[in-house]
Amino acid sequence: MNTPDLEKEKVRSVIEAILLTAESPVSPGRLTTLIKGLNGRDIREAIDELQKEYENSGHAFTIVEVGGGYQLATRQEFAPWLRKFHRDRKQIRLSQAALEVLSIVAFKQPITRVELDAVRGVSSTGVLQTLMELNMIRIVGRSDGVGKPMLFGSTKEFLIHFGLKTLADLPKPKELEELLAEEGRKVQSQLGLGFDEEVVEDESEDSAEQGDQVEEQDEVERLQRADDSDAPNENGIAPGDDEQSEEENDA
pLDDT per residue as tens digits for the range 15-37: 999 999 988 899 999 999 988 88
Boundary-marking domain end, from 64, 85, 106: 85
CA of 55: how far to CAs of 7, 74, 77, 78, in Å?
22, 12, 14, 14
Q: Where among 170, 194, 217 does a domain terminate?
A: 170
The answer to whether residues 20 and 54 belong to one domain is yes
Give the C-alpha separation, 34 to 32, whole Å.
Answer: 5
User: Is pLDDT at 63 greater than 80 in this prediction?
Assistant: yes
Domain range enclosing 154: 96-170
In a domain, 235, yes or no: no
Here the CATH number for the domain that contains residue 157 is 1.10.10.10
Residue 47 CB partners (closer than 8 Å, separation 6+): 15, 63, 70
In a domain, 239, yes or no: no
pTM of the model: 0.49
The band of 199, judged by pLDDT with boundaries at 50, 70 and 90, is very low
Please check the confidence at residue 136 and state whether its pLDDT lies above 60.
yes
Q: Within this chain, do residues 20 and 57 fall inside the same structural domain, yes or no?
A: yes
Tell me whether residue 104 is in a domain. yes
Output the pLDDT for position 169: 83
Query: Rounded mean pLDDT of 204-210?
Result: 47
Residues 142 and 153 grouped into a single domain: yes
Residues 44 and 70 in one domain: yes
DSSP annotation of 74:
E
Average pLDDT over residues 40-68: 90
pLDDT of 67 over the 70 cut: yes
Note whether residue 75 is domain-resident: yes
pLDDT at position 31 = 92
Percent of the chain having pLDDT more than 70?
A: 65
For residues 142 and 182, state if they share a domain.
no
Q: Is residue 220 part of a domain?
A: yes
pLDDT in tens, 140-194: 999 888 888 999 999 988 888 888 888 888 877 676 666 656 655 655 554 454 4
91 in any annotated domain: no
Q: Which amino acid is at 111?
A: I
Residues 202 and 152 in one domain: no
Residues 80 and 14 in one domain: yes
Question: Is residue 239 reached through a cis peptide bond, with omega within 30 degrees of 0 on the bond before it?
Answer: no
Are 131 and 160 within one domain? yes
Residue 184 has what pLDDT?
A: 57
Check pLDDT > 90 for residue 217. no
Are residues 11 and 71 part of one domain? yes
237 within domain boundaries: no
What mean pLDDT do residues 85-92 have? 66
Cα-based torsion angle of the residue sequence 111, 114, 115, 116 in order, rounded to the nearest 10 degrees = 80
Same domain, yes or no: 16 and 76: yes
Whether 66 and 137 share a structural domain: no
Position 185 scores a pLDDT of 65
Identify whether residues 68 and 110 lie together within a single domain: no
Number of domains in the chain: 3
pLDDT of residue 186: 57
Q: What is the CB-side half-sphere exposure of residue 213 using CA atoms within 13 A?
A: 6
